[in-house]
Structure 1
Amino acid sequence: MGRRDELIEKYAEDLRTKCDMDPDMDLLRKVTIGCGPTIYNRDSSTISQGDTDELKTIRDNFLIKKLGLPDDEHLMGGIQSVLTTYGRENRQKYRAVVYYLLVKHFGKEDVYA
């Protein structure tokens, strides 16, 4: 099993235990691959829920550019909802898991079809 596959399994376990959901493994794999090399870097593989600039970057670069969502007030609300689902008390939030949850939250699975 390669390093990426190990990380995908770790992300799936987070979805099962911290988000109480059974992940769509095909979608999780595609979202993880879409994250590129950031998944291998300790700092960039996680997000800081308290960093407003990072949340704006997720909104701008992932939700608007990647998923093609219109720029409106619902985007930050969606990010906050996903962070709550992941568990505010969980300090380590993997970027691939957050992106997966955002894809599901906004119903944009077709982007990865």
Structure 2
Amino acid sequence: MSVRRVVPDIQSDALEESREFYGLLGFEQVMDLGWVITLASPTNPTAQLTFMTEDRTAPVTPDMSVEVDDVDAVYEAVLAGGGDIVRPLQNEEWGVRRFFVRDPNGQVVNVLGHLGQGG
């Protein structure tokens, strides 16, 4: 199992303003689902920020996302380790497979893999 990227997830009602502000720092929009946008560095595409009004397919808004190469294996490891699953593993219509787990600090982590890439 390996980590592909880690992205802070920021709950916001100012998506357009966030896009404009972080654009000044060099970020470009790479995803927009209306309720969630992701901005990335064009020279280092794993340097990303996600802003969302809410998570429309989950009971809570996550605090961060961790993309892994095999989300099913990570899910099984977290279950075996007694992790506090906030949202079970499932596929999303935008091409990811993900679950939410609460870390020891109370932060909600969205663990995901892209479908067709070990998920």
Q: Which has the larger radius of gyration?
A: 2
**What range is the shorter-chain TM-score in?**
under 0.3
TM-score, L = length of structure 1: 0.26
User: Looking at both structures, which has the greater relative contact order when contacts are Cα pairs under 8 Å and sequence separation is at least 6?
Assistant: 1
- By percentage of residues, which structure has more strand? 2
